[in-house]
Amino acid sequence: MKKIIIIFAAAVMALCACSKGYTPDSSYDVVGGKTSYKYSAGRTYMMCIVDDLMACALEDLEIAIKEGKTSVNWASRFNGMEITKEADDKWQLTFSNPLTIGGSLYDTTFKMMAERIVDQQNNGHANWVVEITGSRIEQKGYRCTFESIDPISFNANGISSGWNDLHGTLSMNVYEKDKIKDRCLLTMDGRPSDATFMRGL
């Protein structure tokens, strides 16, 4: 049975300190809950945060903006997410509930600031610049915290769905009980498959 704890353990024991992804068919090299990442365990976990959490939260934000809603109150994994407009084209998203990431359901909390890039919209999606802080409680005393080191941009260029051009850096700390086990960085500079993963920092 696939468990997130196995992903954490594999990330801690990974032999390579730096890895790059393979090059899939470009039409599937997007985030938005539709891609399966076949990389090292730690990289996979961080890409699932970008895809299953950040990109999918942006999709729900776009729905909320169109519908004039201030919370996600429809059939969504993000049901209960609160949305506050901070300024023109800028929203804050807050969430604290169990959330499925990478196929596993655990308590997840995050605060995400999302700024829409004016006059930029492709395939029905806007382009966004995002900052995030969050945490996730796993089983057997494992947990992680994650945050954007610099703003992460989600751009859609010439595709029919999702976002295929990402820029920015996500940091993740992995803990066993109160002891830090690993610190990882995921640096994005173009296609999702080209993101660079580093651990043991």
Write the single-letter amino acid at 167: H
Q: Cα separation of 2 and 55, whole Å?
A: 23
Is 129 within 8 Å of 115 (Cβ atoms)?
A: yes
pLDDT of the chain along its 201 residues, tens only?
A: 334 444 444 443 332 333 333 344 454 556 665 444 445 788 999 999 999 999 999 999 999 999 999 999 999 999 999 999 999 999 999 999 999 998 999 999 999 999 999 766 666 789 999 999 999 999 999 999 999 999 999 998 877 788 999 999 999 999 999 899 999 999 999 999 889 999 887
Q: Which residue has the tokens 């395939």?
A: 123
Residues across the chain: 201
Indicate the SS3 state at residue 28. helix
> Strand 18-20 relative to strand 125-137: parallel, antiparallel, unpaired?
unpaired
Q: Which two tokens stand for residue 65?
A: 């903006």
Question: SS3 helix, strand, coil % of the chain, rounded to 5?
Answer: 20, 50, 30
pTM of the model: 0.81
Q: DSSP letters along 101-145, please?
A: ETTEEEEEEEEEEEEEEEEEEETTEEEEEEEEEEEEE-STTEEEE
**Nearest one of 116, 136, 157, 122 to 52, comparing CA atoms:** 136
